[in-house]
Structure 1
Amino acid sequence: MDLNERLTQDMKAALKAGPSGKVRLETIRFLRAAVKNAEIEKQAPLSDDEILGIITKQVKQLRDSIADFQRSNRQDLIERAQAEIDVLSGYLPEQLSADEVRDLARQVIAQVGAQGPKDMGKVMGPLMAQTKGRADGKLVQQIVKELLG
């Protein structure tokens, strides 16, 4: 079953769950609308990788929103955003730990022969390709900076 079919099935299940599935239903509906808009823009169905890209983008936006909500002291909005992240995270591949990202970064640094901070661009491209959808870009960047000095 592809990701689009899975979203449809999960939305139906959330509908049947009634009030207990409200956040899940609204989150999946919002995600399906974003996927549909991207399909209209592309004028073709999206692949699972493209849908994962949309999910990753939405999770990043929600995490950024949580930081704003914390500054505004809005616990209700923080909890709502976290619940949406939890729903969306269920569709993402298992996330890499910081140690796993660090190991991958070391491998890429060795492959490209990076010597210092000026070579960060050489490392980030291949490393982001390897960690796409499985690690937060900020974490990857932070680890590469740390390793390159």
Structure 2
Amino acid sequence: MHLMDRLNEDLKSALKAKDKKRLAVIRGIKSSLQNEAIKEARELEEEETLLVLNREWKQRKESLHEFEKANRDDLTHEVEQEIKILSEYMPKQLSEEDLDNIVQDTIQEVGASSKSDIGVVMSAVMPKVQGKADGKQVNQLVQKHLT
């Protein structure tokens, strides 16, 4: 099932269940996807959809971090709920071991050997793990293997 179809079905279910939080998150996701499609003036490809979802997820993670720093438990709880709902639409995240294997394989593919090759490795790894791993985590693994 296409993501937009799934969102529409879940939107109907949330309306019927009067689940305001789920409703708000789904509407936000749909809005972001529609805005991106309007910006591109065409239907979004699967990779582009993942980029939008990833952007939404990352924004909420950053908000969560800021709220935790400010000791705003009320807002922290809300954002955690949003992240949980949003995660249902994200592709399954790669395990640390799988991600590490992808990074090592890519380092060998591009022939990287020093820290100066980090950019080359990152640009080769990110398309492989788009939406399935956090860029910070990938960067840390690349740096670890090239040190």
User: What TM-score do the two structures reach when normalised by structure 2?
Assistant: 0.96
State the shift of 1:52 in Å: 1.8
Are the aligned partners of 1:69 and 1:78 in contact in 2 as well (CA < 8 Å)? yes
Q: Deviations over 1:81-138 (max 9, x none)?
A: 1111111111111101112111111100111111110011111111111110000000
User: How far apart, CA to CA, are the structure 1 residues paired with 2:92 and 2:28?
Assistant: 22
State the shift of 1:64 in Å: 0.6
User: How far apart, CA to CA, are the structure 1 residues paired with 2:32 and 2:51?
Assistant: 11
In the alignment of these two chains, the number of paired residues is 147
Runs of 5+ in structure 2 lacking a partner?
none
**Aligned counterpart, 2:69:** 71
Q: Deviations over 1:22-72 (max 9, x none)?
A: 111100001111111112211222233322211110100111111110111
Runs of 4+ in 1 over 2 A off after TM superposition: none
User: How far apart, CA to CA, are the structure 2 residues paired with 1:31 and 1:10?
Assistant: 12
Q: CA RMSD in A?
A: 1.0
- In structure 1, give the amino acid aligned to 2:121: V
- In structure 2, give the amino acid aligned to 1:65: S
User: How far apart, CA to CA, are the structure 1 residues paired with 2:14 and 2:46?
Assistant: 21
Structure 2 residue corresponding to 1:121, chosen from 101, 119, 125 = 119
User: How far apart, CA to CA, are the structure 2 residues paired with 1:42 and 1:112?
Assistant: 32
User: How far apart, CA to CA, are the structure 1 residues paired with 2:88 and 2:59?
Assistant: 16
Percentage of matched positions with identical amino acids: 37
